[in-house]
Chains A and B, each alone.
Chain A
Amino acid sequence: MFGKGLLKGLKITIGRFFGKKSTVQYPEERLPLPDRFYGKPDFHYDKCIACNLCVNACPNKVIKLGTETVEKKKVVTGYHFDQQYCLFCGLCEEACPTDAIKFTKDFELTTYDRDTIGIEFVKQGQIDKKIKEVKQAAAEKAAAAEKAAAEKAAAETKSQTEEADKAETTNKEGGA
């Protein structure tokens, strides 16, 4: 009969009129985000080994990694993440061997101007600290090496004298 479909439609809509609503009142209520969500990136300075894998993995050349060789060791001096070009594909996170780059669940990434959209993760203090650490470590290592060398040398001379002594004694013994 003509009109049956029309009436059925009316029945469905009136049912929904009195039914449960599925709105989530966004700023107050929020749906839980899954763990794998790709939000704002986060960078762990201490974990980064400056291997450049993330830079190469990125399809859009978002990441700029600055390095400096201090005492034969690579130190990260800059990690610029140009967020406006990011595809949030997660290839950098996947490429990273040390989990230094991670994506957080923060999805509210709007900024008021273009200058603030790129994120410079590395602070000058961190670099100074790292360089100091590296230098210190290098110095310590050098010192340790020196010490070790000195010790070794000392040990060698000692052992030599000991050996000499030994030889003497054996000689003596042998002689006796």
Chain B
Amino acid sequence: MENIFVNAAGGIRNLLESAGLPSLVVDISIMTTIFVAILVFVLLNVLWLVYMERKVSAYIQCRIGPNRVGPMGIFQTIADTVKLISKEIIIPKNTNKKLFLLAPVMIFMPPMAVFAVTPFGKGMVALDLNIGVYYFVALASLSTVVIWMAGWTSNNKYSLLGSMRVVAQMVSYEVPLLLSIVGVVLLTGTMNLTGIITAQQSVWMIFLQPVAFLIYLIAAVAETNRTPFDLVEGESEIITGPFTEYSGMGFAFFFLAEYANVLLVSMLASILFLGGWLAPFGLTFIPSWIWLLLKVYLVIFLLMWFRWTYPRTRIDQMMAFCWKVLVPLAIVNIFVTGIGKYLYESVRW
């Protein structure tokens, strides 16, 4: 079980090599297989997450939620997606058609690209990048551009308001997100995601960096535009913000991309703070990738729980909270971490 995916990859490689193919072709086909596998993994998770969100929200609200399509309504998202595919894509007047249609396609790119460097289990990483954390931060902020693109080209004032909020919100919250990760990087001394996980062998980062975890969680909620920071969509104020004019699959892409982002930030949270695929209490008989999934879903449940409990903040309050509370707190956290690390090391030596 533990090495099922690693062995599968190895098996394919052996098969191809034994067929006498040149090593470049083998590498390319292995890489393609891995990326397709990641794509399928992400898409399946996203479909599941949409269903899970509906179920969680229903259970919190004393309802049952979708229960008609398939057992427990498990195929509801698929039915919805099929419905959305069959719908007409309406393009509003006086828009830049190319950009308008490009935005929903591009929205999946940043989270997908980041998944290339995230370890899914022991030895299960497509690209073991040295600067994984840096890569994540750099690419994740790209979605701002895409959402702004959608909002601007929609030629709708609500979309414009929403996309202005996107830029303000996501750029601001990137700062505390980044600063909270710096604490972890300081302690582990590496930017490689696998390295960060292995550094948590003795103790998870959440216990060493509780404040950083909290800041990361709040900033992650803001980054994924979910309640209480869902000002971008803010359906009671600006309809659905940048996505107002999108219909059919265009809307579905934005909708699903939100969950891809949720999956991404939750995965990063469990890698950076919850020990990634490390098994707690020595329960190593459960495969590492299952442990990672469990942790990821714990964080996701937390995010959903927040979403269905809290009301929305206002734009000025949200910005004030970011710049006046989170950023100073994160800086203080880095400072304290640095001092702590220095003292710890000097005492040990």
Note whether A and B contact each other (Cβ less than 8 A).
yes
Which of A10, A17, A25 has the largest count of B CB atoms less than 10 A from its CB? A17
How far in angstroms is the closest Cβ of chain B from A27?
A: 10
List residues of chain B with CB within 8 A of the CB of A23: 62-64
B309: chain A residues at CB < 8 Å are: 9-10, 12-13
Q: Is A14 an interface residue (CB 8 A)?
A: yes
**B60 adjacent to chain A (CB < 8 Å):** yes
Residue B310 at the chain A interface, CB threshold 8 Å? yes
Which residues of A lie under 8 Å from residue B59 when comparing CB positions?
16-18, 21
Residues B310 and A16 in contact, CB atoms below 8 Å apart: no
Interface size class of B (residues with CB under 8 A): 10 to 19
Within 8 Å of chain B (Cβ to Cβ): is A19?
Answer: yes
Which of chain B's residues has its CB closest to A24's CB?
B64
B255 within 8 A of A: no
Known: A6-B310, A9-B310. A16 touches B60 (CB 8 A): yes
Q: If the complex has contacts A6-B310, A9-B310, are A14 and B64 also in contact, measured as CB distance less than 8 A?
A: no
A16 touches B305 (CB 8 A): no
Q: Which of A14, A19, A20, A21 contacts B305 (CB 8 A)?
A: A14
CB of A22 closer than 8 Å to a CB of B: yes
**Which residues of B sit under 8 angstroms from A19, Cβ to Cβ?**
62
Complex Cα gap A16–B67 (Å): 19
Supposing A6-B310, A9-B309, A9-B310 touch, asked if A17 and B64 sit within 8 A by C-beta, the answer is no
Distance between Cα atoms of A16 and B63 in the complex (Å): 10
B residues 93-144 near A (Cβ < 8 Å) are: none
CB-CB < 8 A to A14: which residues of B? 60, 305
Asked if B56 contacts A21 (CB within 8 A), the reply is: no
A10→B60 contact, CB < 8 A = no
- Name which residue of chain A comes closest to B68, CB basis: A25
Given contacts A10-B305, A13-B305, contact A21 B64 (CB under 8 A): yes
Query: Do the beta carbons of A22 and B62 come within 8 Å of each other?
Result: yes
Q: How far is the CA of A20 from the CA of B60 in the complex (A)?
A: 10
Q: What residues of chain A lie closer than 8 Å to B284, measured between beta carbons?
A: none
Q: How many angstroms from the CA of A14 to the CA of B302 in the assembled complex? A: 11
Q: Quote the shortest CB–CB distance from B182 to chain A (angstroms).
A: 24
A122 to B60, CA, bound (A): 52
* Chain A nearest Cβ from B302, distance in angstroms: 9
What separation, in Å, do the CA atoms of A17 and B59 have in the docked complex?
Answer: 5
How far is A21 from B61 in the complex, measured between Cα atoms in Å?
A: 8
Closest residue of chain B to A6 (Cβ to Cβ) is B310
The yes or no answer to B308 lying at the interface (CB within 8 A) is yes
Asked whether, in the complex, the Cβ of A21 is within 8 Å of the Cβ of B63, the reply is: yes
Chain A nearest CB from B317 CB (Å) reads: 13
Interface 1/0 per residue, B290-308 and A, CB below 8 Å: 0000000000000001101
Tell me how far the C-beta of A47 lies from the nearest C-beta in chain B, rounded to whole angstroms: 44
Q: How far apart are the CA atoms of A25 and B68 in the complex, in Å? A: 10
In the bound assembly, the distance between CA atoms of A58 and B305 in angstroms comes to: 52
In the assembled complex, the Cα of A129 lies from the Cα of B196 at a distance in Å of: 93
How far does the alpha carbon of A16 sit from the alpha carbon of B64 in the complex, in Å?
A: 12
A9, closest chain B residue (CB):
B309
B115 to chain A, nearest CB (A): 29
* Residues of A with C-beta under 8 A to B308: 13
Chain A, 13-61, CB within 8 A of any chain B CB: 13-14, 16-23, 25
User: Are A13's CB and B60's CB within 8 A?
Assistant: yes
Q: What is the minimal beta-carbon distance from A18 to any residue of chain B, in angstroms?
A: 8
Encoded as 1 (CB less than 8 Å from any A CB) or 0, chain B from 8 to 27 comes to 00000000000000000000
Q: How far is the CA of A51 from the CA of B276 in the complex (A)?
A: 83
Q: How far is the CA of A19 from the CA of B14 in the complex (A)?
A: 53
Q: Tell me, rounded to whole Å, the shortest Cβ–Cβ distance linking B269 to chain A.
A: 18
B-side contacts of A25, CB under 8 Å: 64, 67
Q: How far is the CB of A160 from chain B (nearest CB, A)?
A: 90
Interchain CA distance A22-B59 in the complex, whole Å: 10
A19 to B306, CA, bound (A): 18
Bitwise interface map of B from 48 to 70 toward A, beta carbon under 8 Å scored 1, else 0: 00000000100111111001000
Kindly state the separation between the CA atoms of A18 and B56 in the bound complex, as whole angstroms: 10
A-B contact pairs, 30 of them (CB 8 A): A6-B310, A9-B310, A10-B305, A10-B306, A10-B309, A12-B309, A13-B60, A13-B305, A13-B308, A13-B309, A14-B60, A16-B59, A16-B60, A16-B61, A16-B62, A17-B56, A17-B59, A17-B60, A18-B59, A19-B62, A20-B62, A21-B59, A21-B62, A21-B63, A21-B64, A22-B63, A23-B63, A23-B64, A25-B64, A25-B67
A-B pairs with lowest CB-CB distance, top 9: A13-B309, A23-B64, A9-B309, A22-B62, A13-B60, A17-B59, A17-B60, A23-B63, A21-B62
- List the interface of chain A (C-beta within 8 A of B): 6, 9-10, 12-14, 16-23, 25
